[in-house]
């Protein structure tokens, strides 16, 4: 008999969403130090990540990192306490935000120049990842584990 993973799918989905959001937050915290990796400079980093010029400074990056970590915490907490209304609403908000970003990414595929780093990152990474994470967050938000009630 093959080994079966006994972790519920919503728990695995929560781990995926929280992991990606946490990695994104860590990148934002890293950029607050003035580092621009993987880009050569601030302008290149901003163009690749956002498709426009925005300063990558602590007053902008720290709130974004805090928001990403809060979102990750909501999703993880809801996977552990699926009957808690506030955690469900927070997880639904995360799913809505990721859906909005995926939708915006679809728009940008037609509105942005095709020769830019942002266009290709948006096409190959940002938009598909946000779409997958939105579905995963929605799965977590809809979960009601009767055994844990």
Do residues 10 and 143 touch, judged by C-beta distance below 8 A? yes
pTM of the model: 0.90
pLDDT at 149: 39
Q: Which of 92, 95, 102 is nearest to 130 (CA)?
A: 102
Say which residues have a Cβ less than 8 Å from residue 114's Cβ, sequence separation at least 6: none
Residue 147 has pLDDT above 80, yes or no: no
DSSP 37: T
Could you tell me what percentage of the chain is helix, strand and coil, using 3-state DSSP and rounding each to the nearest 5?
Answer: 75, 0, 25
pLDDT at 148: 45
Grade residue 146 by pLDDT with cuts at 50, 70 and 90: very low
Q: Which of 81, 80, 86, 90 is nearest to 21 (CA)?
A: 90
Grade residue 4 by pLDDT with cuts at 50, 70 and 90: low
pLDDT tens track for 10-20: 999 999 999 99
Grade residue 8 by pLDDT with cuts at 50, 70 and 90: confident
Q: What is the mean pLDDT of the chain?
A: 92
Q: How many CA atoms lie within 13 A of 81 on its CB side?
A: 10
Say which residues have a Cβ less than 8 Å from residue 30's Cβ, sequence separation at least 6: 37
């Amino acid at each position: 008999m093959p080994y079966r993973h006994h972790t519920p799918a919503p728990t695995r989905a929560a781990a995926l969403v929280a992991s990606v959001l946490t990695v994104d937050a860590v990148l934002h915290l890293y950029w607050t130090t003035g580092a621009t990796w993987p880009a050569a400079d601030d302008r290149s980093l901003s163009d690749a990540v956002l498709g426009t010029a925005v300063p990558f400074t602590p007053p902008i990056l720290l709130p974004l990192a805090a928001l990403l970590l809060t979102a990750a915490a909501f999703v993880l907490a809801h996977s552990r306490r699926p009957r808690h209304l506030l955690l469900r609403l927070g997880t639904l908000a995360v799913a809505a935000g990721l859906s909005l970003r995926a939708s915006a990414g679809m728009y940008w595929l037609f509105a942005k120049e095709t020769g830019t780093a942002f266009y290709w990152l948006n096409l190959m990474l940002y938009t598909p990842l946000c779409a997958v994470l939105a579905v995963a967050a929605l799965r977590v938000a809809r979960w009601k584990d009767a055994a844990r009630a």
